[in-house]
Amino acid sequence: MIKKIVLLFIVILLASCSSSKPAIATTRKAAAVQKPRVAATKKQTPVKPVSKSYPSTNVTTEVIQSTSKTVVTSDLINNYVLQYKDIAIGNMQKYGIPASIILAQGILESGAGRGDLAVEANNHFGIKCHSDWLGESVRHDDDASQECFRKYPEASESYRDHALFLVGKKRYATLFTYEKDDYKAWSKGLRAAGYATDPNYPDKLISYIERYNLHQYDCQVTGKSYIPINKTAPARSSSSNSNSNSNDPNLYEVQKGDTLYSISKKFNVLVDDLKQKNNLLDNAISIGQKLKVK
């Protein structure tokens, strides 16, 4: 009898143990489900700082801090001329500004489209805001620190605004009394009217016009015959005076067989100095071309 009671007790004990196991398993599963929730919360936290810093980056890209020297090649300048010559011709026809002047100013003021203002603001002529400008602008170091310059949605708008700027300002009225194709008078007149403060501004414009034959686009509008600058100039004999003007010893006229190196030796100057004095971007020179040597 006692054995039966003990056996019954063991059976009851085993039954109670087996019935408690599912509760433990369920608890563990519940705990396992909760763990990923904590991990998911941790993964989301690093995302927040990224969105906070992004707007400040956009603001700073609108401001040009300082000017930079733009290094260009003759190929870049030729490509620039090909890209904008039609706009320049159109502006000459509509507004009376020589196409050669428009292109030369574009090359000089924009670094053939590679300068900071041209890249950041599509400003190809260095036109500042002034009081009547209502469009977008950028800041740029020029004659003074952080001056206000006009910003355009595209380069063609800069070309149009350049024409309107010259036509609309009284100080440039004298320019329109010159012949349309008199690029030398226009170059000097722009400087005299205050377009630029650089005293060599006219010489630089004329140099670009003559070295890249920009005057041909004026002739397309006026209908005059175009003669390439310097290409038809007769060569002087070796016995002739090497100075282009006996009254100006600072100038030299390029002779047949001359190179920048030979000229530099003749006048005891560096080739780089000759290039800088004459606004030359490469070593190419033409017979009859006048160079500053002193």
Q: What is the pLDDT of residues 152-172, one digit of tens each?
A: 999 999 999 999 999 999 999
Closest C-alpha to 125, from 32, 177, 73, 196: 196
Buried b (16+ CB within 10 A) or exposed e, 225-263: eeeebbeeeeebeeeeeeebeeeeeeebbbbeebebeeb
If you ran DSSP here, which 8-state letter would residue 235 be given? Answer: P
Query: How high is the pLDDT of residue 177?
Result: 95
Query: What pTM was estimated for this model as a whole?
Result: 0.58
Q: How many residues does the chain have?
A: 294
Query: How high is the pLDDT of residue 200?
Result: 87
**Domains of the chain with CATH codes:** 74-222 (1.10.530.10), 232-294 (3.10.350.10)
Query: How high is the pLDDT of residue 121?
Result: 94
- pLDDT tens digits for 61-119? 212 223 346 788 888 899 999 999 999 999 999 999 999 999 999 999 998 998 889 99
Res 46 pLDDT > 50: no
Res 258 pLDDT > 70: yes
If you ran DSSP here, which 8-state letter would residue 141 be given? Answer: -
CA atoms within 13 A on the CB side of 126: 20
pLDDT: is 217 or 59 the higher one? 217
CA distance 62 to 136: 10
pLDDT: is 233 or 243 the higher one? 243
Query: How high is the pLDDT of residue 146?
Result: 86
- Per DSSP (E only), the strands in the chain are 137-140, 147-150, 251-253, 290-292
Q: What is the mean pLDDT of the chain?
A: 76
Query: How high is the pLDDT of residue 196?
Result: 87
Query: How high is the pLDDT of residue 229?
Result: 72
Q: Which residue has the tokens 């800088």?
A: 276
Closest C-alpha to 155, from 201, 101, 112, 202: 112
Res 44 pLDDT > 70: no
